[in-house]
A = this chain, B = another copy of it.
Amino acid sequence: MQMPAPSADILARRARITRRLREVLPGDAVIDDPVETRAYECDGLTAYRCPPLAAVLPSTTEEVAAVLRVCHEERVPVVPRGAGTSLAGGALPTADSVILGVARLTQVLETDYDNRFIRVQTGRTNLSVTGAVEADGFFYAPDPSSQLACAIAGNIGMNSGGAHCLKYGVTTNNLLGVTLVQMDGTVLELGGAHMDAGGYDLLGLICGSEGQLGVVTEATLRILPKPEGARPALIGFGSNEVAGACVSDIIKAGILPVAIEFMDRPCIIATENFAKAGYPDCEALLIVEVEGSEAEIDGQLGLIRQIAARHDPVEFRESQSEDESRKIWLGRKSAFGAMGVMGDYICLDGTIPVSELPFVLRRIGELSAQFGLKVANVFHAGDGNMHPLILFDANKPGDLETCEAMGAEILKLCVEVGGCLTGEHGVGIEKRDLMNVQFAPGDLEAQMRVKDVFDPGWLLNPAKVFPLEASESRRAG
């Protein structure tokens, strides 16, 4: 897309801003060459792109504070960016914004096994947090699919989950404290290595606020001892509805597997072609993983087998070896890649009460027929966090729009049955205009008033989370 050339005023302002940023950062930490800023023009929601005014890569909390002070004085919007893996456009720049990347904030600051925490800079990737403690028998529980790449900063911004959050909770349940730099450059320490302190729970408020209330530069994370063992079972079913009913029954029975993952036929076929995981040929399958001692695993899988038997499973295959377990998970973790090979898709993140799974899966099938677009379902069924992938052809005019319209219908359905628009991906720009479906005007107003408090100029990660009209009028006002 050809952009109009910027005016002389705008060019002078840009030059001043980058000069001021260079005064507070090392030279290679400020990027304003238009070729290089292109690397920051989008995140995982690649349908939307816009290069920023500049990108900065600070290495310390002090450098982050210095950047924000400059941007605050210059009234430049700032878009914090983790690893850029957001599927909701959470790190999408605006043309007048500075991208604040945390890629150089990768240090481990402290590990404390007695009190089970690790303190890290937030540019560190999710998986490398576990990497820092696994030799000593510990791990960090939240495990988004993108965990090899995604940064803790983004996990905190989006309150990320993962396959194992059914047992271990999402980021907010594993976050003990943060260092937060506010838009004016002042630094707050929220929480710490102890139980919830007195006063208001600002830590909980920051987690999931999509980088709109401040920039999180350091985090104290709960780490857990690795379980004695873990074993998945693959359960194949004759239909989506029956598989959904089985999930609901497992949850209702009070068993707590670490993960209940769901894949429907289109997803099974795509994954099988791609990763050759040896999945059974069926309409829907569940991967149910349990943890503990051998005796505990046997006990829990025995109960799950009994429940599954009431739903006429096509197959119940308990993993017999480490190698088989790895293969089962490899299939699941390859599912998104496998779908990508098949074509373009958007990935939804609606979350519903588990008992509504059979109904919602049936309605998604009906919507698929109505809109004429294929849907594949692969998701964290145990906590009702659905990830329908709607396939479309980016080269076919109007197909993306049809796909987005169908996605909106599915998300509205999630809200109608008592669920919500997003379980772990965040709102970003993708779902901002659907926020009116989820929240009454007064509820959104209360959230926006909190934004006013932390960022009165609405400079941090602008045009996200709230309906565009609402946030623009707020920013202007």
- A residues lining the B interface (CB < 8 Å): 112-116, 137, 159, 161, 169-170, 172-173, 182, 186-190, 192-202, 204-205, 207-209, 213, 224-226, 248, 251-254, 292-293, 295-296, 299, 351-355, 383-385, 418-424, 426-427, 431, 435, 438-440, 442-444, 446-447, 449-454, 465-466
* Ranked 8 nearest A-B pairs via Cβ: A225-B254, A204-B204, A114-B355, A197-B420, A198-B427, A115-B353, A449-B453, A198-B422
Q: Which of A192, A198, A353, A451 has the most CB of B within 10 A?
A: A198
- Residue of B116, B137, B161, B204 touching A201 (CB-CB under 8 A): B204
Residues of chain B with a CB closer than 8 A to A172's CB: 196, 201, 204
- Residue of B187, B194, B199, B443 touching A351 (CB-CB under 8 A): B194
Contact A251 B195 (CB under 8 A): no
- What are 7 A-B residue pairs whose CB atoms fall within 8 Å in the complex? A193-B418, A197-B422, A198-B420, A200-B213, A202-B205, A205-B205, A449-B454
Contact B196 A159 (CB under 8 A): yes
Contact B192 A201 (CB under 8 A): no
Contact B420 A190 (CB under 8 A): no
Q: How far is the CA of A39 from the CA of B423 in the complex (A)?
A: 46
Q: How far is the CA of A112 from the CA of B442 in the complex (A)?
A: 27
Q: How far is the CA of A72 from the CA of B173 in the complex (A)?
A: 36
Contact B427 A199 (CB under 8 A): yes
Q: Which of A115, A225, A292, A444 has the most CB of B within 10 A?
A: A115
Contact B173 A173 (CB under 8 A): yes
- Residue of B200, B449, B452 touching A447 (CB-CB under 8 A): B200
Chain A at the B interface: SS class:
loop
Q: How far is the CA of A426 from the CA of B198 in the complex (A)?
A: 6
Residues of chain B with a CB closer than 8 A to A452's CB: 453
Residues of chain B with a CB closer than 8 A to A438's CB: 197-199
Residues of chain B with a CB closer than 8 A to A208's CB: 196, 200-201
Residues of chain B with a CB closer than 8 A to A204's CB: 172, 201, 204-205, 207
Residue of B nearest to A439 (CB): B199
Residue of B nearest to A298 (CB): B295
This protein's copies in its complex: 2
Residues of chain B with a CB closer than 8 A to A450's CB: 200, 202, 205, 450, 453
Residues of chain B with a CB closer than 8 A to A196's CB: 159, 170, 172, 208, 420, 423
Known: A204-B205, A254-B224, A293-B299. A421 touches B197 (CB 8 A): yes
- Residue of B114, B213, B252, B351 touching A195 (CB-CB under 8 A): B351
Q: How far is the CA of A451 from the CA of B450 in the complex (A)?
A: 10
Residue of B nearest to A208 (CB): B201
Q: How far is the CA of A279 from the CA of B423 in the complex (A)?
A: 48
Q: How far is the CA of A352 from the CA of B194 in the complex (A)?
A: 6
Q: How far is the CA of A466 from the CA of B199 in the complex (A)?
A: 8
Contact B194 A384 (CB under 8 A): yes
Contact B195 A170 (CB under 8 A): yes
- Residue of B197, B224, B252, B442 touching A113 (CB-CB under 8 A): B252
In the complex, given contacts A194-B418, A195-B385, what are 6 additional A-B residue pairs having Cβ atoms less than 8 angstroms apart?
Answer: A115-B355, A116-B251, A192-B418, A198-B420, A199-B438, A293-B299
Q: How far is the CA of A172 from the CA of B173 in the complex (A)?
A: 10
Residues of chain B with a CB closer than 8 A to A115's CB: 251, 353-355
User: In whole Å, how far is A413's beta carbon from the nearest beta carbon of chain B?
Assistant: 13
User: In whole Å, how far is A139's beta carbon from the nearest beta carbon of chain B?
Assistant: 11
Q: How far is the CA of A383 from the CA of B299 in the complex (A)?
A: 29
Residues of chain B with a CB closer than 8 A to A424's CB: 195
Residues of chain B with a CB closer than 8 A to A454's CB: 446, 449
Q: How far is the CA of A113 from the CA of B173 in the complex (A)?
A: 23
Q: How far is the CA of A248 from the CA of B453 in the complex (A)?
A: 40
User: In whole Å, how far is A455's beta carbon from the nearest beta carbon of chain B?
Assistant: 11
Residues of chain B with a CB closer than 8 A to A186's CB: 442
Residues of chain B with a CB closer than 8 A to A442's CB: 186-188
